[in-house]
């Protein structure tokens, strides 16, 4: 039996601004199986991070509102659980790695103390006591396993004395220390330079393979997504436009937006003219009444403006495009 760790069903989230209400997520549904890696790919402002914040229940209370939908974590709706239940889930249940590693570690605490905190949380939740000396050696071994060579030295340092890549490794080490069921990685490599990015990605892949944790990987880079994940969900305008196995999405995109994204990946093997790009920028107006991508779509026709296309299942994949059947959302 394949049980799902995370099931997001019909999730809609609004942000209130002084001028208007922005529908950041509209009817987003996906599930993450045990040990599965799902990538959420999309451009800036498409709602990627909102998914991460909603699942971890960190949405800013002042202006964000979950309009409808549910987020089931191990069958429990975390949007409707109590604060204390959420505290239990966080850490050992759901752990999150943020984009900027410099800001997600307390600048006034040594790496060792922050790691110790993670281990304490785990031992408090699993009711297995960890002796202090054991914790120290465990920290060192975890740090080594995220390929920090001089672990004993790094433990005694403050985050500002480490590089971005090292800090992100420490964050991953904290994730390892807590052994969560679900890891949410919100653009974990975006703030790093390209070589470090590759190292951290390779590390992340190994961690996923060794621990078998389920991961929601949020990125704007389709290639990165395909390299770490089993399935990919392409997000545009707050809606999932296409979802399916990573290889199929990358090799045979169905949605024009995904196709556009793939065409705009620089290739090193051939030099055939200027790099293609998707024309225009995302427009907020009219997304409720038509296909969100229609204003920029090379294949758009009259039908695309008549309503929001339905999410059409096609085997393992689903796509939200009228070219695959003229069906609209109710």
Partner 1 sequence: MSYLKSIRKLATRPSSCIGLVIVVAFYGWALVEGILQVAGTFLHVPSLGWVLLPYSPYKPAISNSLLPPSLTHLMGTDDLGRDIWSRVLYAAPTDAMVSILVIAGGIAIGGLIGFPAGYFGKGVDEVNMRVTDLFLAFPALILALTIEATLGRQVVYAIIALVAVWWPSYARLLRGETLKIKNMKFIDSALLSGLPDVAIIGKHVVRYSLNTLTTYATIDLGNTILVYSILSFLGLGVPAPAPEWGTMVASGLEYFPTQWWYSIFPGLVITVVVIGAALLGDGLRDMFAGEL
Phi and psi, residue 8, nearest 5°: -105, 130
Count of residues of this chain found to bind partner 1 when the rule CB under 8 A is applied: 28
Q: Does 100 bind partner 1 (CB under 8 A)?
A: yes
Taking alpha carbons only, the member of 34, 59, 30, 33 closest to residue 42 is: 30
Of 49, 54, 56, 189, the residue at the interface with partner 1 (CB under 8 A) is: 56
Cα–Cα distance, 259 to 278 (Å, whole number): 10
Of 10, 21, 76, 106, the residue at the interface with partner 1 (CB under 8 A) is: 106
Nearest approach in angstroms of CB 328 to partner 1 is: 38
Q: Among 13-21, 85-93, 208-216, 269-277, which window interacts with partner 1 (CB under 8 A)?
A: 85-93
Q: Does 174 bind partner 1 (CB under 8 A)?
A: yes
Which one, 97 or 292, has the nearer CB to partner 1? 97
Nearest approach in angstroms of CB 246 to partner 1 is: 26
Of 31, 43, 117, 230, the residue at the interface with partner 1 (CB under 8 A) is: 117
Cα–Cα distance, 179 to 128 (Å, whole number): 14
Beta bridge partners of 215: 37, 183
Q: What is the DSSP pairing of strand 317-319 with strand 64-73?
A: unpaired
Nearest approach in angstroms of CB 233 to partner 1 is: 22
Cα–Cα distance, 309 to 150 (Å, whole number): 54
Cα–Cα distance, 71 to 200 (Å, whole number): 29
Nearest approach in angstroms of CB 108 to partner 1 is: 5
Of 73, 98, 257, 293, the residue at the interface with partner 1 (CB under 8 A) is: 98
Q: Does 190 bind partner 1 (CB under 8 A)?
A: no
Q: Does 107 bind partner 1 (CB under 8 A)?
A: yes
Asked if residue 301 lies in contact with residue 286, where contact means CB atoms within 8 angstroms, the answer is: no
Give the CA dihedral 291, 280, 52, 315, nearest 10 degrees.
50
Of 28, 118, 222, 278, the residue at the interface with partner 1 (CB under 8 A) is: 118
Cα–Cα distance, 72 to 145 (Å, whole number): 31
Of 22, 25, 46, 105, the residue at the interface with partner 1 (CB under 8 A) is: 105
Cα–Cα distance, 47 to 75 (Å, whole number): 24
* Interaction site with partner 1 (CB under 8 A): 56, 58, 87-96, 98, 100, 103-109, 117-118, 121, 125, 171, 174, 178
């Amino acid at each position: 039996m394949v049980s799902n760790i995370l099931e997001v069903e019909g999730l809609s989230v609004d942000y209130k601004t002084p001028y208007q209400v922005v529908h950041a997520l509209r009817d987003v549904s996906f599930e993450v199986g045990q040990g599965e890696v799902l990538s959420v790919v999309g451009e800036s402002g498409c709602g990627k991070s909102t998914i991460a914040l909603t699942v971890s229940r960190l949405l800013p209370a002042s202006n964000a509102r979950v309009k409808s939908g549910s987020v089931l974590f191990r069958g429990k709706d975390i949007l409707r659980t109590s604060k204390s239940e959420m505290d239990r889930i966080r850490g050992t249940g759901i752990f999150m790695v943020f984009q900027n590693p410099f800001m997600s570690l307390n600048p006034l605490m040594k790496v060792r103390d922050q790691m110790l905190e993670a281990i304490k949380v785990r031992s408090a939740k699993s009711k297995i006591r960890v002796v202090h000396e054991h914790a120290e050696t465990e920290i060192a071994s975890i740090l080594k396993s995220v390929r920090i060579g001089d672990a004993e030295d790094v433990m005694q340092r403050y985050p500002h004395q480490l590089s971005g890549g090292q800090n992100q490794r420490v964050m991953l080490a904290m994730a390892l220390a807590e052994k969560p069921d679900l890891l949410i990685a919100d653009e974990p490599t975006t703030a790093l330079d390209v070589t470090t990015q590759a190292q951290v990605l390779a590390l992340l892949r190994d961690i996923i393979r060794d621990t078998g944790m389920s991961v929601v990987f949020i990125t704007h880079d389709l290639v990165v997504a395909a390299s770490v994940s089993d399935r990919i969900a392409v997000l545009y305008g707050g809606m999932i436009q296409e979802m399916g196995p990573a290889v199929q999405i990358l090799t045979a995109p169905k949605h024009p937006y995904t196709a556009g994204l793939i065409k705009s990946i620089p290739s090193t093997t051939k030099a055939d003219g200027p790099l293609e790009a998707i024309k225009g920028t995302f427009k907020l107006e009219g997304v409720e009444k038509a296909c969100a991508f229609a204003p920029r779509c090379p294949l758009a026709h009259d039908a695309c403006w008549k309503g929001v296309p339905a999410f059409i299942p096609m085997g393992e994949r689903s796509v939200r495009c009228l070219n695959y059947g003229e069906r609209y959302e109710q």
